[in-house]
Amino acid sequence: MYDLAAIELHLRARRKRNFPPWMGRAIHAVFLRSLEEFNPSFSKDIHDGSGVKPFTVSNLLGASVEDGQLQILPSEVVRVRLTSLHPDVTALLLNGILPVLTLDGFTVQGETFQIEQLIDEGTVWTGTTDYMDLLNQASHQERKLKLRFVSPTSFKSTLKHYMPLPYPDKVFQSLLMRWNAFAPVTFPRELLSVLNELLAVMEHRVHSENVVLKGRQRQVIGFTGEVTYHILTDDETVIHYLNALADFALYSGVGVQTAVGLGQVRRVGR
């Protein structure tokens, strides 16, 4: 059984329907509701817990935008991406939730989509693996880490406002904290304090985006685009750790609100 999974569902609606532009919270609710059917106490612990969530979801992807709304047409296929970071969640996702959704359909905000395809391997956004395999396969020499951020990504500052910039320490601190929350082998926490000394931005093409959560009650400003980081040390152990974290981003996401669609990211250029 795998520790980590990144799944993509290809969905088709039965009728024309408009949705709000950000559906991450609604898809988050579908995931937790599905999890609750198999393990109610586990689902409640995840919902009520204040720590790192052991899964991510995407927005509704590939839909047309009409007058600020997502327009869903029966002639078009849209996508949802789900990832899990904890072996228990991965087992429930692969062996329970997905088989049921494939039979019953994916119901979000009263609309049931037919699942036309379920992809768990073979694309740049999907995969299944274990933490130890990810670590063992990570490079000890590669010092260029290029990440593509495809949904708005942001970080909380000490002043409790959002920081929509790809600072190396913020990005890799987020990855390291998620890794250490769920992996059987953890990285030294001392890395957190020296990430600014170990990494620098080589190149970036990013822009900012606003996401409205909970109606109009909460807005998050994030960035999307590509950023290339350069590792500034020759220490092969550190290089190994940072490469593993860059590879891990595919499953973990980065920054705030990854469980409702923000911070979807993957490594590119390898």
pTM value? 0.95
Residue 216: its pLDDT value, please?
57
Q: How many angstroms separate the first and last alpha carbons of the chain? A: 26
For the residues of 3-72, what is the DSSP string, one character each? SEEEEEEEEE-SS-EEE-S--HHHHHHHHHHHHHHH-HHHHHHHHH--S--SEEE---BS-EEETTEEEE
> Which of the 8 DSSP states describes residue 198?
H
Q: Are 54 and 92 in contact (CB under 8 A)?
A: no
* Residue in this structure with the two tokens 């020296």, named with its chain if needed: 194
Domains, the chain, in order of start with CATH, read 4-119 (3.30.70.1890), 135-268 (3.30.70.1900)
Structure tokens at 233: 């040390």
Q: What is the mean pLDDT of the chain?
A: 94
Low-confidence winner among 23-32, 152-161, 175-184 (lowest mean pLDDT): 152-161
Structure tokens at 91: 């087992």
Alpha helices in the chain (DSSP H): 24-38, 40-48, 87-92, 98-104, 131-137, 168-182, 191-198, 236-252
Q: What are the pLDDT digits (tens) for 25-50?
A: 999 999 999 999 998 988 888 888 77
On the question of pLDDT at 157 being above 90, the answer is: no
Q: What are the pLDDT digits (tens) for 109-138?
A: 999 999 999 999 999 999 999 999 999 999
Contacts of 105 (CB under 8 A, 6+ apart): 112, 113, 114, 115
